[in-house]
Amino acid sequence: MNAAQSDGYLPPDVFRRFPLFRALTAPFHVLAGFALVTRPRLRPFIWAPLLINLLTFGLTAWGGIVLFDTYLSEWLTGYPQWLAWLVWPFFILALLLAFGSVFTLFGQLLTAPFLGLLAEYTEAELSGKRPDTSESWGQLLTRTLSRELSKLRWMLPRLLLLIVLSWIPGLNLLAPVAWALFAAWSMALQYLDYPMDNHKVTFAQMRQQMLERRLHCLMFGGTLALLSWIPLINLVLLPAATAGATRFWWHDFAALSQPAPVPSVHS
């Protein structure tokens, strides 16, 4: 813990003693993640996600341009002209966040094994302990891909619900806020899963732990969702966010992930 606390990326302890102020420190873990992946032991994990990101970002950016050109004007047709000018920026922001999240999710599905290893080595960097290398590549692939499918099963129904909401007159006024919250929560869930899965925290347990720190997670995930649309930064976001999420888990969730002590037979 000392190594993580002394790297200069968290405010003074006085700001972290109160729940609200502590939640505001979550974006600092993202900043620390970019610094962590430049360390020699973590640097090799950047290259595979970077190459995959170049491909997936190109595809999702093209999809976003097509959607803007085809559907945005249709969505705004039913609004009075004065209201359309007010609503338009929120729809743009919501679509940017949504496509940033989709781009990241596709990239993560392809890079999950690399990011799981990165989370292990990041935790080792923070704790000073050697990473667990007993798992074979076959076991790693099976575990990480199974977990990615669990996340997709959670995300896809909610994604479809938001798409439907975006087309219902009146209710679609809430769509930008709903998309932004979904993007932030999905980002936090996606990246926190890597260190938690390494510690055998089930998907249901992880979601419960996130609910106990919901504001922390929304701040962390919201920062990632915004960064996912900044050119160049988004290309290295997957490894940096994984390192940052591992650091976030190390500071705020690790105690919850420890197994309960087994009662002594003599007690």
Residue predicted with more confidence, 107 or 196:
196
72 Cα distance to chain centroid: 27
Domain ranges, ordered by start, for the chain: 19-253
How far lies 168's CA from each of 13, 76, 86, 98, 252, in Å? 46, 12, 18, 18, 39
What was the pLDDT predicted at 15? 52
What was the pLDDT predicted at 254? 78
Which pTM does this prediction carry?
0.73
**Residue 166 confidence (pLDDT) above 70:** yes
What was the pLDDT predicted at 107? 65
Share of the chain above pLDDT 70, in %: 64
How far apart, in whole angstroms, are the C-alpha atoms of residue 21 and residue 23? 5
* Position 64 confidence tier, pLDDT thresholds 50, 70, 90: low
What was the pLDDT predicted at 176? 84
Write out the DSSP string of 40-57. Answer: TTTGGGGHHHHHHHHHHH
How far apart, in whole angstroms, are the C-alpha atoms of residue 218 and residue 224? 10
Residue predicted with more confidence, 199 or 23:
199
How far lies 198's CA from each of 154, 167, 215, 231, in Å? 20, 40, 24, 31
What was the pLDDT predicted at 30? 93
Beta carbons within 8 Å of 186's beta carbon, 6+ residues apart = 101, 105, 155, 221
Tokens of 25: 């420190």
